Amino acid sequence: MINQDNKDILLASQCGVEFEFYSNHSVEETGKMLEKALGRKMQIENKAHSDFVPTDKVFKLEPDMSGGAGLIEMVTGPIPYTDVRLLLIKMFAWIDANGYTNDRCGLHLNISFKKEAFGKYFITNMNTLKFILDFKEDRVYKFFPKREDLVYAKSIKYIIPKNGLYYFNENTVDKNQFIYPNTKYYGINFLKQENGYLEFRYLGGKDYQKRTKDTLYLLDFFILQLYNTCKDGSLTELNRLELRRIMRKIQPVIDLYKDHRNFKHFKDIDFSLDLMLDDNNDGESIDLYWDKIKDRVVDLIYRGGLTKGKINYDTDRSRIQVKDGILKGAHDLEGYDFVDCDITGEIKHSNLYRCNINNADLEFCNLYQSCALKGSKVKSSYTHSSCHLEDCYVFGTDTMFNGSMKDGIFREGKYKASNAKFDGTEIVQSTKID
């Protein structure tokens, strides 16, 4: 039972909702039916992420190509708490009767508070560090376990110091000294904080419309968590304990940043210079290059989650190479060569050879020599004919695809007819090259 204080907080909140779903009807007919079912006007757009800004009285319907040509997104403006609960109930019932959802469908809650209740900058000034430390992410995954570490809604439990030499003093913690999730594809999109709201992206998946009770519970959970952090941004002892745990975990990485000889603490990771280990001269050759490359090397462990493998710096190409690496949950790695690696996470502007890639987000990459991808996003990348993708989402007008693809969605790009092979893949728009 909700106490009076919590009730007042909930009633002071508002929420915009983004529903991704498939309809059994045309977009036009869907719009008419939803106007009748929800009592709101529908603005129908012909492209995703259109410029029209919905309100609490006029919603918008538009295509969402991330789920193929048939995926529709309905977006609302900020709606008062009691109204949004009713909206969720009605919309879930409509989808269940007139359409369906699958694993590519998301349900996003854009939560804010009325300015007259707590002020204009209530969320903008929130202590993001405290929010992440406080947030009980496991509770969300208990209700939606298949959304855990999804490429579109990754865990927010990612906190690292901006400075590799950061000295942690629990009595003088400065939130500005840390890096937090800084792209939209996390369970919470913190980029929206400067606009006075947070986008909660955890929910969705197949048959999410049948999860009314769970969704309403999590709506309340999100609102109350957000309010509590915004109201008091000071770190509790539990927060400091959690932060101490995180800092202890990354202390070996900080030591490595200071001196490459501390690779000795990473027994499953080898480092070489031009494919030559430098044990005989105690690392003197590496000393010549360490200041130049240490940020990039340490990032592989720091941001990349590298737990095992071989790192090599090619001095002729000024290129860092990783072989036989295991990278779990990489965050925004850019400009590497990966060979025979197992990878999850975000990789940009990199070359990949014979890699197994699962639940990853690749941008502007080159895939060669039988790379195998599953459940991943691939944007504006080159794919060699030897590579195979399964249940992936390929997009970007400068995509060049020569590989094979099973299921998934080829949203846009070029492919070579003589090489590319598609099996059960939905091709939305493309350019075939002879």
| Domain 4-238: assigned CATH number | 3.30.590
pTM of the model: 0.84
Distance CA 120, CA 297 (A): 42
Burial of 24 (0-12, 13-18, 19+ CB in 10 A): exposed
Tokens of 245: 């745990």
pLDDT of residue 278: 56
pLDDT of residue 282: 56
Tokens of 160: 């690292």
Across-strand partners of 310? 270, 323
**Phi–psi pair at 151, nearest 5 degrees:** -60, -25
pLDDT of residue 82: 97
pLDDT of residue 277: 65
CB 354 within 8 A of CB 339: yes
pLDDT of residue 370: 97
418-427 long-range contacts (CB < 8 A, ≥24 apart) are 419/385, 420/385, 426/68, 426/69
Regions of the chain with pLDDT less than 70? 1-2, 67, 69, 164-166, 277-283, 434
pLDDT of residue 281: 47
Q: What is the pLDDT of residues 1-53, one digit of tens each?
A: 467 789 999 999 999 999 999 999 999 999 999 999 999 999 999 887 889 99
pLDDT of residue 165: 67
Letter string b/e over residues 329-355, b meaning 16 or more CB atoms within 10 A of that residue's CB? bbbbbeebbbbbbbbbbbbbebbbbbb
Distance CA 394, CA 381 (A): 9
pLDDT of residue 24: 94
HSE-CB of 14 using CA atoms within 13 angstroms: 16
Q: What does the domain layout of the chain look like in residue ranges?
A: 4-238, 262-433
pLDDT of residue 285: 85
Distance CA 247, CA 239 (A): 12
C-alpha angle 286-346-152 in degrees, rounded to nearest 5: 165
In Å, how far from its chain's centre is CA 126? 21
| Residue from 107, 16, 20, 84 nearest 55 by CA | 16
pLDDT of residue 360: 93
* Alpha-carbon dihedral angle through residues 188, 191, 194, 199, given to the nearest 10 degrees: -30
